[in-house]
């Protein structure tokens, strides 16, 4: 009994000592699912904590929801990928500054043996060909950065679209699932269909999982597929409770030589998932 009580007291004492690290030097980051699903944060955050002693609590969701967290003061910093909305977020005073951190690209993923997309002249033509052939297409449908880019591509395709900028005649082939990138990739595989993905998450599912993933890249390289990521500390003038100093330390670490090196070194089966993109300002 005494041993049991000693163990409980020891555990309680250990947990009590953690707050010096866990309550005084911790920030909440709202981020797109791709930074987490790709495995980048599993490498990046421990290095940041080791260098600074600051812990990062992660909320992974679509970029639209992450930006809403910042607007509502539910996060100290955002790490997202929708350049237009990021700039608007800063212009409206919700963020102090957008730091360019890294980029990868979007890719169109589809069944092995595809010919209609691989032979297309552009990504817009590839999307149009999927729609005209009524082949299964899976949309995240979650207001994420990926979903926003998908809608831009549908607009570029010249197809008739509804008020949400999605194919007007999508019944039976267009599946909007309201889920993250990983779920969308799995659903597309089940349908043997197509999905727009960031390259990092696709590579993680293709090579980093025990369960096989058979869908392949069927279109890549178009200028419309470049995918930049930015980090934005939430403005303390909007929400005085945010831990701006710690959040700004994280932002500056990401764009430092050290942070950029960690990002650039992250690979999966020899494939780089993200490319450093910090710019001197």
Residue 109 and residue 166 in contact, taking contact as beta carbons nearer than 8 Å: no
CATH, domain 105-226, list 3.40.50.2300, 3.40.190.10, 3.40.50.2020, 3.90.930.12: 3.40.190.10
Report the alpha-carbon distance of residue 52 to residue 49 in Å, rounded: 5
Give 213-254 pLDDT, tens digit per residue: 999 999 999 999 999 999 999 999 999 999 999 999 999 999
Where in the chain are the domains?
Answer: 2-103+229-276, 105-226
Res. 45: pLDDT tops 80 = yes
Res. 44: pLDDT tops 80 = yes
At residue 186, the pLDDT reads 95
At residue 144, the pLDDT reads 87
Of the pLDDT bands very low, low, confident and very high (cuts 50, 70, 90), residue 33 is: confident
Identify the residue whose tokens are 């993905």: 197
Give, for 100, the enclosing helix (H) or strand (E). Answer: strand 99-110
Q: How many CB atoms within 10 Å of residue 216?
A: 15
Q: At what angle do helices 83-91 and 145-157 cross, to 10 degrees?
A: 120
Of the pLDDT bands very low, low, confident and very high (cuts 50, 70, 90), residue 281 is: low
At residue 280, the pLDDT reads 59
More confident call, 132 vs 143: 132
Residue 32 and residue 81 in contact, taking contact as beta carbons nearer than 8 Å: yes
Q: How many CB atoms within 10 Å of residue 219?
A: 26
Question: 2-103+229-276: CATH homologous superfamily?
Answer: Periplasmic binding protein-like II (3.40.190.10)
At residue 279, the pLDDT reads 76
Q: Do domains 2-103+229-276 and 105-226 have the same CATH topology?
A: yes
């Amino acid at each position: 009994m005494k041993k049991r009580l000693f163990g409980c007291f020891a555990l309680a004492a250990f947990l009590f000592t953690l707050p010096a690290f866990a309550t005084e030097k911790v920030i909440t980051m709202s981020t797109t699912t791709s930074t987490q699903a790709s495995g980048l944060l599993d490498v990046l955050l421990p290095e940041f904590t080791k260098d600074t002693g600051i812990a990062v609590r992660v909320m992974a969701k679509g970029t639209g929801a992450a930006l809403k967290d910042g607007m509502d003061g539910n996060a100290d910093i955002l790490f997202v990928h929708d350049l237009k909305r990021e700039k608007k977020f800063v212009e409206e005073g919700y963020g102090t500054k957008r730091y360019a951190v890294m980029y990868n690209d979007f890719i169109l993923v589809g069944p092995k043996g595809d010919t209609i997309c691989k032979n297309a002249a552009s990504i817009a033509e590839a999307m149009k060909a999927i729609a005209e052939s009524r082949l299964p297409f899976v949309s995240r449908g979650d207001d994420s950065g990926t979903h926003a880019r998908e809608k831009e591509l549908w607009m570029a395709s010249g197809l008739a679209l509804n008020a949400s900028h999605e194919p007007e005649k999508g019944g039976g082939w267009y599946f909007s699932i309201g889920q993250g990138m990983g779920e969308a990739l799995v659903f597309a595989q089940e349908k043997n269909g197509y999905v727009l993905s960031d390259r990092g998450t696709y590579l993680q599912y293709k090579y980093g999982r025990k369960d096989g993933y058979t869908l392949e890249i069927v279109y890549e390289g178009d200028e419309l597929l470049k995918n930049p990521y930015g980090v934005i500390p939430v403005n303390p003038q909007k929400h005085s409770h945010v831990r701006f100093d710690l959040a700004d330390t994280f932002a500056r670490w990401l764009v430092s030589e050290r942070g950029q090196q960690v990002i650039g070194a992250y690979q999966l089966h020899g494939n780089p998932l993200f490319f450093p993109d910090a710019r001197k300002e």
